[in-house]
Chains A and B, each alone.
Chain A
Amino acid sequence: MPNDNEIIDNIANKEYEFGFVTDIEMDILPAGLNESTIRYISEKKKEPEWLLNWRLKGYQSFQKQKLPEWQNFELPAIDFQKISYYAAPRNKKKYNSLDEVDPELLATFAKLGIPLSEQKALTGVAVDAVFDSISIATTYKDKLKELGIIFCSFGEAVQEHPELVQKYVGSVVPHSDNIFAALNSAVFSDGSFVYIPKGVRCPMELSTYFRINTENTGQFERTLIIADEGSYVSYLEGCTAPMRDENQLHAAVVELIALENAEIKYSTVQNWYPGDKDGKGGIYNFVTKRGICKGANAKISWTQVETGSAITWKYPSVILQGDNSTGEFYSVAVTRNRQIADTGTKMHHIGRNTRSRIISKGISAGEGNNSYRGLVQIGPKADLARNFTQCDSLLIGDRCGAHTFPYIESKNNTATVEHEATTSKIGEDQIFYLNQRGIDSEKAVALIINGYAKEVLNQLPMEFAVEAQKLLSITLEGSVG
């Protein structure tokens, strides 16, 4: 009979499932970062002058900035010159239909459970797949077009809707925001672009799938979502990477803009390679995600299930500018082995009667370390603003850690800010209780975890909630029994 510690060790050492490499011919830019790297990328993508200039400004900001020092973990040295900033599958012309896409690539996404052919695609989900630097396929494009919805790769949007891109890119996350955002602005390769016209409710989930394949590359995608007045969209992002001994950098930027009465729901299931059990390899996931509720009654909701990456460092945030606007953040972050997650959110209340809700569920196993870091900021004009924060930590075993850093800055005394925090352990008693009903320890842990994370999982679109539940189970399951 396995004892608790064995169960926990098994859980902590479970292997990464998506660690395979796709053998495909790639155009890879040699490692290194300077102005000509940026010009090369911009030229490859046939970008207009203004965008090149914007990139170059981003590069200047990057050069001026230092790596942050306030974090609660040791940031490994990152040699930005050792990274290749562009990798794209060879045989590159623009794909007009999926038939032209390399079958090997399609097979890769199929293996990841992301069928790209429209017939096979999850019903009601339009998918954009990004392989290393390049967007491979966007499904259901025509159907969306009828409604005036634009869902395409960032590169395509630059070509076909330059006025929208120019108006909004960098408007929420300026290129000078932080060192990784600056780097992204300089070298971003692709990503997704969404525009929902006035009054349109997007009838299906929009989804992007990111895959890092090539060695020593970074992935720097940029996502821009604009929901015009009175519109609604739900967007989901998923990601995996092969197992490699070296660390790989992922520094994405996501900008959301919700105009008056618009709503954006953005969900992430992040399962980048976390490194092996001794902490070798894995993705550094340093991402800047921010949305703005620009108009009155707008709503932005972030939901994230973070199970992967060696280091996750991200704070999806909402600027609540419009009166009566709402920001939400729902998060489950799992760390095991030597994984580190420092994640949370910032809610900037600017408009009157703005509301925010933060539900954060950290799960630590093995020697994993999980930090919640949140900022609730109430501006002088944010009369009657309200925030509720609940921040729970669950520990599995006694070598892991959980930390919370909630910051509150209020400049308006009509505001209400509530904060609740709990820390609990999966108890032997809970496992035994389930054992006594015929459920083995592995399933018991999965049940307990999913129960604990339920409030967050419930926020995900149906199809993905099931996936995420399974992902949590496999992530934490040992081979007990």
Chain B
Amino acid sequence: MLTIKNLHAEVEEKQILKGINLTVNAGEVHAIMGPNGSGKSSLASVLAGRENYRVTQGEVIFKGENLLDMSPEVRAREGVFLAFQYPIEIPGVSNINFLKTALSEIRAHKNLPPLDAKEFLRMSREKQKLVEFDAQLVNRSLNEGFSGGEKKRNEIFQLAMLEPALSILDETDSGLDIDALRIVSKGVNKLRSENNAFIIITHYQRLLEYIVPDFVHVLYDGRIVKSGTKELALELEEKGYDWLKEESREKATTI
């Protein structure tokens, strides 16, 4: 589904991603961990097409096509979904109308007509239930005055509604209490299928107890310095990142 090859990117002339390689197949869940400032959100931003990032080298192939050639909205319509680390508030725009617009755009891209109001509402109710999202929040203005946790849960509700092929969750767990974390994880697990894939960015091993990843990668200073299975997450939890920092420094000097 997604192949990232030797991806280099900079923001404000500062090199942030320094050669990322990653392959994600349909049906897989990949976790990306790493210390603050290592470039996790930057990787998500580059994949989603945020304008201030400039790709200087490498390529990204998504479903056989060059992702980097597409505008952010086309990437979204093709099935790339980013659950933001800091979801944005848009006052006065109702959550549900926004979702209806988004879904219609995505469907139009696939030459499908927009869902009629009834069908749309039915779907919305079903997904609210699936991810246990508060019905009251559905009719409020988009993220306006939502608590941190409500915003994160709204991201997952949107994910459920838009049914993307590739979902990138950027620290969706931070700011969630244990109950909310369990609910969000349950939702994600229900949404997992043979046809979609997830990249889950997190600091904590805790989330990975609920959403069990197929692979765990450690991002450090713009590179994936170690990959493994879910046991790697446990090891990181125990030992921290320092041992990896040293390992990577040695690597960097030998290159």
Taking Cβ atoms with an 8 Å cutoff, the residues of A that contact B are 1, 3-4, 427-430, 432-441, 443, 447-448, 450-455
User: Shortest Cβ distance from B155 into chain A, in angstroms?
Assistant: 10
Q: A437-B158, A439-B105, A443-B101 are in contact. Are A450 and B92 (CB under 8 A)?
A: yes
- What are the residues of chain A within 8 A of B50 when measuring CB–CB? 432
List the A residue with the shortest CB-CB distance to B76.
Answer: A438
Q: Assess the B71–A451 pair: CB atoms within 8 A.
A: no
- Mark the stretch among B12-20, B82-90, B118-126, B218-226 that contacts chain A: B82-90
Which B residues from 115 to 154 make CB contacts under 8 A with A? 141-142
List the B residue with the shortest CB-CB distance to A453.
Answer: B92
Taking Cβ atoms with an 8 Å cutoff, the residues of B that contact A are 48-51, 71-73, 75-77, 81-82, 84, 87-88, 90-94, 98-99, 101-103, 105-106, 109, 141-142, 158, 162
Instruction: For the complex, give the distance between the alpha carbons of A443 and B97 in Å.
Output: 13
Apart from the given pairs A427-B88, A441-B73, 17 other A-B contacts in the complex at a CB distance below 8 Å? A428-B51, A430-B88, A432-B51, A434-B98, A436-B49, A436-B76, A436-B84, A437-B102, A437-B105, A438-B77, A438-B102, A439-B73, A439-B102, A439-B105, A451-B93, A451-B94, A454-B92
- What are the residues of chain A within 8 A of B102 when measuring CB–CB? 434, 437-439
Q: Assess the B93–A448 pair: CB atoms within 8 A.
A: yes
Q: Assess the A3–B109 pair: CB atoms within 8 A.
A: no
Contact of A1 among B51, B77, B87 (CB under 8 A): B51
List the B residue with the shortest CB-CB distance to A446.
Answer: B101
Q: A1-B71, A438-B102, A438-B162 are in contact. Are A433 and B92 (CB under 8 A)?
A: no
Q: Assess the B76–A437 pair: CB atoms within 8 A.
A: yes
Instruction: For the complex, give the distance between the alpha carbons of A454 and B90 in Å.
Output: 12
User: Shortest Cβ distance from A247 into chain B, in angstroms?
Assistant: 34
The contact sample of 16 A-B pairs, CB cut-off 8 A, is: A1-B51, A427-B88, A432-B48, A432-B50, A432-B51, A433-B87, A436-B72, A436-B76, A437-B99, A437-B158, A439-B101, A439-B105, A440-B71, A440-B105, A451-B92, A452-B92
Instruction: For the complex, give the distance between the alpha carbons of A176 and B93 in Å.
Output: 45
Q: Assess the A447–B109 pair: CB atoms within 8 A.
A: no
- What are the residues of chain A within 8 A of B88 when measuring CB–CB? 427, 429-430, 433
- What are the residues of chain B within 8 A of A427 when measuring CB–CB? 88
Instruction: For the complex, give the distance between the alpha carbons of A455 and B106 in Å.
Output: 29
List the B residue with the shortest CB-CB distance to A433.
Answer: B88
Q: Assess the B76–A451 pair: CB atoms within 8 A.
A: no
Instruction: For the complex, give the distance between the alpha carbons of A450 and B141 in Å.
Output: 12
Most buried by A among B71, B77, B93, B142: B93
Most buried by B among A429, A436, A450: A436
Instruction: For the complex, give the distance between the alpha carbons of A455 and B91 in Å.
Output: 11
List the B residue with the shortest CB-CB distance to A361.
Answer: B92
Q: Assess the A3–B93 pair: CB atoms within 8 A.
A: no
Instruction: For the complex, give the distance between the alpha carbons of A356 and B88 in Å.
Output: 33
Q: A429-B88, A448-B90 are in contact. Are A436 and B101 (CB under 8 A)?
A: no
Q: Assess the B93–A435 pair: CB atoms within 8 A.
A: no
Q: A430-B90, A434-B90 are in contact. Are A440 and B73 (CB under 8 A)?
A: yes
Instruction: For the complex, give the distance between the alpha carbons of A428 and B51 in Å.
Output: 9
Q: Assess the B93–A450 pair: CB atoms within 8 A.
A: yes
- What are the residues of chain A within 8 A of B99 when measuring CB–CB? 437
- What are the residues of chain A within 8 A of B101 when measuring CB–CB? 439, 443, 447
- What are the residues of chain B within 8 A of A452 when measuring CB–CB? 91-92
Contact of A438 among B90, B92, B94, B106 (CB under 8 A): B106
Q: A450-B92, A451-B141, A454-B92 are in contact. Are A438 and B73 (CB under 8 A)?
A: yes
- What are the residues of chain B within 8 A of A453 when measuring CB–CB? 92
- What are the residues of chain B within 8 A of A455 when measuring CB–CB? 92
Instruction: For the complex, give the distance between the alpha carbons of A50 and B120 in Å.
Output: 63
Q: Assess the A451–B91 pair: CB atoms within 8 A.
A: yes
List the A residue with the shortest CB-CB distance to B83.
Answer: A436
User: Shortest Cβ distance from A424 into chain B, in angstroms?
Assistant: 9
Q: Assess the B90–A436 pair: CB atoms within 8 A.
A: no
Instruction: For the complex, give the distance between the alpha carbons of A480 and B30 in Å.
Output: 35
Instruction: For the complex, give the distance between the alpha carbons of A441 and B74 in Å.
Output: 11
Q: A432-B50, A450-B92 are in contact. Are A438 and B71 (CB under 8 A)?
A: no
Q: Assess the B51–A447 pair: CB atoms within 8 A.
A: no
User: Shortest Cβ distance from A326 into chain B, in angstroms?
Assistant: 24
Q: Assess the A436–B48 pair: CB atoms within 8 A.
A: yes
Q: Assess the A435–B90 pair: CB atoms within 8 A.
A: no
- What are the residues of chain A within 8 A of B92 when measuring CB–CB? 450-455
Q: Assess the A447–B73 pair: CB atoms within 8 A.
A: no
